[in-house]
Amino acid sequence: MNLNIKKIIDETYDKVKVIKDGKVASYIPQLAKVDPNIFAISFVDTKGNMYSIGDSDSKVAIESISKLFTFSKAVHKFGENTLLEKIGVGGSSLPFNSIIAALESKTHTINPFVNQGAIATTSLFYDKNHKKFKNEILNNLNIFAGKQLKLGEKIYHSESETNNTNMALAYILKSFNRFYGQVPSSVDVYTHQCSVLVSSKDLALMGSVITNNGIHPKTKKHILKPEHCQFIKRALRPAGLYEFSNTWIVKTGCVAAKSGVGGGILILIPDIGTLAIVSPPLDEYGNSVKGIKAGEIITNKLLHFCNKNKKHKKAKKKTKKKTKKKNKKKKYKNQFKKTLKKYRARK
């Protein structure tokens, strides 16, 4: 059985291309200027082969997808228990930057994939030397990308100038002792990490480190421990797409995904590969409309193929075993007949 990933992706691309729903993010003024027509899909399989269609070299701000990589670095450096204790993995039924959620949730930080927990995760790396602090976080994204990523200067300045909600969230967390560095410096580094520019190709490669148990498909560097990758995926599943996360899980069956308001979405499909989609118009939750649609179709087709293939392989193995047994029996029968014939002839 041959999986034609290219055909699945091309057909889905054409089907989803015509969707006109969604609006580009505008609460960060520079994001409102992004080209809404950018549409790209990239896929990296478990061997590191990449296939892309559309504007796969067009760059958008990584935004919340960066949370996944800073969290991964934190798990690697501090261990799972520290993250469970200092950030938590609770779900949220409120928007990703909700002040109410920061005040009312039990942990205040909620989880690493909403702004509250993400800014607190970045603050775990706080260093008095701001440049060192910033470079450590930005360099981590480069390690996952396997190359030097560029900062979207205009996006960074635009987000910095309008960062009041994130500053408020950080001060609320500080007041509950749930913030681990100086507020303005940590929020600034968080804003930097969100403003890094990526294409769908970059995203697919970055995500495949986690899909592939910690090994970068191109540089072959061991970036994360396999057990940490499992933990990261488990933590991501119920939270990566905000209030839509549960619906996504029901629709795709426990496939971890992370979106960002720049229009990117990253989908980690176990044992198959990593899918990245870029299309800036967003739905009410802040997830790319085309990204969710194309992601759901492709993920389900790939999973369906894999299940069918597993069953097919199992059936093939069973038939092979049966034939082998039958042949063995036949061989013994023939041998016996021959010996009997010889014996009779001697007589």
Contact between 194 and ligand GLN by CB under 6 A: the answer reads yes
Contact between 299 and ligand GLN by CB under 6 A: the answer reads no
**At its nearest, how many Å lie between ligand GLN and the CB of residue 277?**
15
**At its nearest, how many Å lie between ligand GLN and the CB of residue 205?**
20
Sequence-separated (6 or more) residues with CB below 8 Å from residue 104: none
Contact indicator for 50, 216 with CB cutoff of 8 Å: no
Contact between 115 and ligand GLN by CB under 6 A: the answer reads yes
Nearer Cβ to ligand GLN (5/118): 118
Q: What is residue 222's three-state secondary structure?
A: strand
Contact indicator for 97, 115 with CB cutoff of 8 Å: yes
**At its nearest, how many Å lie between ligand GLN and the CB of residue 57?**
21
Residue nearest to ligand GLN (CB): 64
**At its nearest, how many Å lie between ligand GLN and the CB of residue 49?**
29
**Number of neighbours of residue 50 by Cβ within 10 angstroms:** 19
Nearer Cβ to ligand GLN (97/107): 97
Long-range contacts of 99-105 (CB under 8 A, 24+ apart): 99/165, 99/168, 99/169, 99/172, 102/169, 102/172, 102/173, 103/172
Nearer Cβ to ligand GLN (194/206): 194
**At its nearest, how many Å lie between ligand GLN and the CB of residue 187?**
9
Q: What is residue 242's three-state secondary structure?
A: helix
Nearer Cβ to ligand GLN (50/110): 110
Nearer Cβ to ligand GLN (60/204): 60
The DSSP line for 18-83 is T----B---SSGGGGGS-TT--EEEEEETTS-EEEEESTT--EE-TTHHHHHHHHHHHHHH-HHHH
Contact between 166 and ligand GLN by CB under 6 A: the answer reads yes
Among 261, 266, 269, 276, binds ligand GLN (CB under 6 A): 261
Nearer Cβ to ligand GLN (53/266): 266
**At its nearest, how many Å lie between ligand GLN and the CB of residue 8?**
27
Q: Which of residues 49-88 bind ligand GLN (CB under 6 A)?
A: 63-64
Among 146, 273, 286, 291, binds ligand GLN (CB under 6 A): 286
Task: Find the largest Cα–Cα distance for the chain.
Answer: 107
The separation between the first and the last C-alpha atoms of the chain, rounded to the nearest angstrom, is: 56
Q: Measured between alpha carbons, how far is 328 from 205 in angstroms, rounded to an integer?
A: 49
Q: Measured between alpha carbons, how far is 266 from 276 in angstroms, rounded to an integer?
A: 5
**At its nearest, how many Å lie between ligand GLN and the CB of residue 12?**
24
Contact between 117 and ligand GLN by CB under 6 A: the answer reads no
Residues in binding contact with ligand GLN, number by CB under 6 A: 11
Among 72, 97, 121, 279, binds ligand GLN (CB under 6 A): 97
Contact between 291 and ligand GLN by CB under 6 A: the answer reads no
Contact indicator for 235, 210 with CB cutoff of 8 Å: no
Nearest to 63 by CA among 265, 249, 274: 265
Contact between 96 and ligand GLN by CB under 6 A: the answer reads yes
Element (H, E) at 255: none
Residues that bind ligand GLN (CB under 6 A): 63-64, 96-97, 115, 159, 166, 194, 260-261, 286
